[in-house]
Structure 1
């Protein structure tokens, strides 16, 4: 972790900034942008990857600014250490005490650091930030806890709703990661659609570069991957609907196995029972704790990616698959069509026979595979990091203007 050496912006300069209007033109001074970094500094998957990728892309594309990552603690891990080694990214631990820090006391630290804009990267921002000079934006990933409450405990639902609806009301701007999430925020929270901007996510750049043959061979041997396999990536939970893939696999060419990468929850027992009932023990492979550096290689060796989730805020695994040049089948009913584009295939998440039919159609047609790979790779460029990062910086500048 590097020590802070940057010059502090004076209160007078901050006040001047508040009154200035620079639109989207180039800035003659540095911005100081603060982020809720709890997940960036501690989580190795999901929202942690999203947070690190977003901040790192900003730091590389707009190096003239300072990016302050606020977290109550930091985890020692290669991904996190690498992220924090970026020249203009600084970890900020509590100066004002840990009690209620992320919710309230962080405001004192933001003021001391002369932060001009604070970005809550996952559904919450500090209380009372609207009464300070600091502008704020909050990212809403999804409202699945309201759309599918049966997947969450009563306490979790109440807590998530309380934090997210409060943040949506108090933030200067809301970023939704898909049009579907934007529509949900309008529907459930009654927020004016004009306050919400849709800015899609990208995925880590490592998924955008083909691995060489030697690296792929090493990864294949390390995890004992089969010659032909269907891939599914994501937490093994009911909403992700892995059971449907297992049921469809019974009617898929036996040359193909199913490789599943994800953290196990209690739903794993349901999936395991289905595998045993259908006698598919030799055709389903579970991998856990895969180093992030190896994951793109596994994608690149797959024959097909299948993601029949009942509901998602966006669907980063689909983006990873398309960048990896893998034909993709997903489910209707949420935002997965936004992520997969018009040339991926979509099925009803309740129909195993339909999924089996579409899997076989893709695996049996090299021509269709080639077409889906080419058109999928073309479509996914709309989520490329430079484009998404520019949209985000434009959003920041508009808030501060």
Structure 2
């Protein structure tokens, strides 16, 4: 079978959608080498270099398509899908090409979240309109919808009035490197590379209001006399980050939070953590805290648990669905509950070890082979429903 993918994010995105795209394509190619995988990429990119011979990158070739690459990806790509005899097309990031339903080629669209519907203030007015329009179109015309959590499925059903029987939930898997337990020697190299403290709490995610860093900082203030550990923050930010930094300055907590992206840039280094270094970064942490107000999935939860790192996360949205019985749950608006999580994982060694053990069990639900099979099942349902 020839399977086509919208690969823009795979080649150009260094956050969640990019990781999702790269991991899925490589897992499918590994577990099902009998298929051919065509990655439709509107322009050259360096973030993805798959080595398998049955993975092929496709870029626009016609002169006009090279000039109007966005239009090629959004509509004109349908001609290339037919030319390459694509049997199934998967829109990996919430959209499918306009008119694909008229080609006879069945399609699947992955809907990760409905941020543009639920948090429009996080986007510009134009971006919100575009995202909403593309998601509505994809949900209407795709043969199957792949939701990454039951939470996301509920939002699709309620917001776009889609029959839930058209939506399949496929819990994603994280990159297998997160399951590799890092040696102490390598941890020391990574510690020196990023100038990290001996012990710390960790927060991974874009610094926006929905990710809730300000309340994490308020929790740190509550335990500053009890727990000496700083918080390492990995992620970019804008106006909200300034608000957080002002809070830290007002409360003399600047030395309690390390904005790693800023620190790397100030040192003249690449302002991001390299993918292969993330497992060590997680595994050096006493705990990872992720009290978002809303997520479509919450990938850092399983990235942390896969490497034996306990997790503090929200009792709302999809987080309990993903964290199972292994996480310490807090209300995202209650710093005092986050502070209690800090105390438990810092001061109670037995509790921490029990949480780690539960985490290893919990992540088996997201094992690569389980994930790949669920996606293949969705593809078969789409082929049967064309």
TM-score (norm 1): 0.89
Shift of 1:374: 0.2
Shift of 1:139: 0.4
Shift of 1:53: 0.4
| 2:330 paired residue among 347, 351, 354 | 347
CA distance in structure 1 between the partners assigned to 2:380 and 2:22 by the alignment: 21
| 1:391 paired residue among 368, 374, 377 | 374
| 1:47 paired residue among 6, 14, 17 | 17
CA distance in structure 2 between the partners assigned to 1:358 and 1:230 by the alignment: 11
Shift of 1:298: 0.6
Q: Between 280-289 and 180-189, report the one with greater CA deviation.
A: 280-289
CA distance in structure 1 between the partners assigned to 2:276 and 2:250 by the alignment: 35
CA distance in structure 1 between the partners assigned to 2:382 and 2:95 by the alignment: 18
Are the counterparts in 1 of residues 344 and 352 from structure 2 also a CA contact under 8 Å?
no
Residue 37 of structure 2 corresponds to 67
* Structure 2: stretches of 5+ with no match in the other structure: 262-271
RMSD of the alignment, in Å?
1.2
Aligned residue for 1:40, secondary structure, equals helix
Residue 320 of structure 1 corresponds to 303
Residue 182 of structure 1 corresponds to 153
Trace 1:83-162 onto structure 2 (pairs within 5 A).
Answer: 83=50, 85-96=51-62, 97-98=65-66, 99=68, 100-162=71-133
Residue 266 of structure 1 corresponds to 239
Aligned residue for 1:39, secondary structure, equals helix
Structure number having the greater helix percentage: 2
Could you give the per-residue CA deviations for residues 207-235 of structure 1, whole angstroms, max 9, x where no partner exists? 01111221111001111211221000011
Are the counterparts in 1 of residues 149 and 170 from structure 2 also a CA contact under 8 Å?
yes
Shift of 1:67: 0.3
Are the counterparts in 2 of residues 65 and 88 from structure 1 also a CA contact under 8 Å?
yes
CA distance in structure 2 between the partners assigned to 1:128 and 1:373 by the alignment: 48
Could you give the per-residue CA deviations for residues 72-111 of structure 1, whole angstroms, max 9, x where no partner exists? 112124xx12x2x222111000134243111111000000
* Structure 1: stretches of 5+ with no match in the other structure: 1-30
Residue 382 of structure 1 corresponds to 365
Count residues in correspondence.
Answer: 367
Residue 264 of structure 2 corresponds to none
Residue 22 of structure 1 corresponds to none
Shift of 1:254: 3.4
Are the counterparts in 1 of residues 3 and 37 from structure 2 also a CA contact under 8 Å?
yes
CA distance in structure 2 between the partners assigned to 1:105 and 1:343 by the alignment: 46
| 2:327 is the counterpart of 1:361 | no
| 1:277 paired residue among 219, 242, 250 | 250
TM-score (norm 2): 0.93
| 2:2 paired residue among 9, 13, 32 | 32
Could you give the per-residue CA deviations for residues 322-345 of structure 1, whole angstroms, max 9, x where no partner exists? 111111111122101111112311
Could you give the per-residue CA deviations for residues 214-263 of structure 1, whole angstroms, max 9, x where no partner exists? 11110011112112210000111111010111111012233211011111
Are the counterparts in 2 of residues 42 and 73 from structure 1 also a CA contact under 8 Å?
no
Aligned residue for 2:228, secondary structure, equals coil
CA distance in structure 2 between the partners assigned to 1:224 and 1:59 by the alignment: 37
CA distance in structure 2 between the partners assigned to 1:301 and 1:74 by the alignment: 35
